[in-house]
Amino acid sequence: MFNWLKTTILMAAIVALFGAIGMAIGGKQGMLLALALGGAMNFFAYWFSDKMVLKMYNAQEVDAASSPYLYNMVRELTQRAGLPMPRVYLIDEAQPNAFATGRNPEHAAVAATRGILQLLSERELRGVMAHELAHVRHRDILISTIAATMAGAISMLANFAMFFGGRDSEGRPANPLASILVMFLAPLAAALIQMAISRAREFEADRGGAEISGDPNALADALAKIDAYARGIPMYTAEAHPETAQMMIMNPLSGNGIKSLFSTHPATEERIARLRALARGAY
């Protein structure tokens, strides 16, 4: 119920941002048009954002015949978690990473890169996939996927302010400085929304994943390995679409320039420390 409330607040906040950008671009008429567009985008995001993100990463669905190692592992963990079997996807990326998406546990998908399958041991990979299934069980997947889709749309809409300039309520040209500010502040606001929903849920998914796998140290070991390797291996799709970074188990961005301000994940060291404490029964 709480995640539904968070999702509703997020969608309302994004529509409000659309309206503010529309006002800067085209005055009252621009605001009304942007509000209508924001509502339509919310509808699209709810029903189709998972498919769009999977297509963006060129994820290929696998089954027990095409990828028995990954598929059977997810199936076993799904049974332990008491969840419906999600669709399973493989992403042809060298960077070790994984994410879950979908609008609810009945329409969920989990995806892993080839890099993470090559890097981690079976025990460590079980910890990672259990983490992703914890996101499914906690119903985090809808809000994170909507955030990724809508933040990208807001960034695109804000860019129009630079090209078309602001208009006042009577259609006269407004101060162009306002359009420039909107172009920078709207994506920042969208990033802050993502940060607010991402950090706490990663800790909860770590805890839930440890419970599902029954091995907190396995996930801790996996996070240490992923953190060490992911920094040196670029994921170009994530770099081109940084709004999707918050969906991953580990921040996939290089961290150069302004992207370093938009980190959506808690410190890996703190995540590992909490998992170690959980393994000792001290958390």
Catalytic residues: 132
CB–CB of 98/59 below 8 Å?
A: no
Residue type, 198: S
Q: Which H helix or E strand runs over 106?
A: none
Mean pLDDT of 14-42: 76
Report if pTM > 0.75. Answer: yes
Read off the pLDDT of residues 223-242 as tens digits, 9 standing for 90 and up: 999 999 988 899 999 988 88
CB–CB of 154/160 below 8 Å?
A: no
Handedness of CA 65, 70, 73, 77 (dihedral sign): negative
Among residues of the chain, what percentage have pLDDT more than 90? 47
Among residues of the chain, what percentage have pLDDT more than 70? 72
